[in-house]
């Protein structure tokens, strides 16, 4: 585990980092998008590389998902790149985020918990 302090609402156990390429957009609009994304509860960090047009986000996948970020992008009419690699990563990120949410709510399997009133084997 890392000694890094995370923002309120972010658990290191479900922290994910995402990199999404965006279509060209006005720099002022990008700054508004970054400011609005930065206010989402459960987000740990957000940055944008102007040279490669890549949006870097780190968030707690048990609390939020990629849809929250995409809503902000759509609100400001900023689009993700339409190349095959970005589309592939987006699908993988969605699957992985859903898997984290499902595992956080899952009950442990039968053999992983002790039965009350019995002694453990030696």
pLDDT digits (tens, 9 = 90+) for 47-104: 999 999 999 998 888 888 888 889 999 999 999 999 999 999 999 999 988 888 888 7
Q: What is the chain's Cα-based Rg?
A: 19
49-66 exposure pattern, b = at least 16 Cβ within 10 A, e = fewer: eeeeebbebbbbbbbbbb
pLDDT, mean of residues 11-37: 89
Instruction: Tell me how far apart the alpha carbons of residues 34 and 12 are, in angstroms, rounded to a whole number.
Output: 22
**Any idea where the domains of the chain sit in the sequence?**
12-101
Fold (topology level) of 12-101? Alpha-Beta Plaits (3.30.70)
Residue 102 corresponds to which tokens in the numbers above?
């499902």
Confidence band for 23, pLDDT divided at 50, 70 and 90:
very high
For the entire predicted model, the pTM comes to: 0.75
């Amino acid at each position: 585990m890392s000694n890094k302090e995370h923002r309120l609402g972010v658990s290191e156990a479900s922290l994910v980092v995402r990199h999404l390429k965006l279509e060209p957009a006005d720099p002022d609009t990008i700054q508004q998008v970054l400011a609005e994304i930065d206010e989402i509860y459960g987000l740990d960090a957000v940055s944008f590389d102007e040279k490669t047009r890549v949006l870097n986000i780190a968030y707690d996948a048990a609390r939020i998902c990629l849809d929250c970020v995409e809503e902000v992008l759509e609100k400001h009419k900023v689009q993700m790149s339409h190349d095959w690699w970005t589309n592939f990563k987006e699908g993988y990120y969605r699957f992985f985020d859903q898997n984290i949410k499902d595992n956080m709510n899952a009950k442990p399997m039968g053999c992983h918990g002790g039965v009350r009133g019995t002694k453990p084997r030696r």
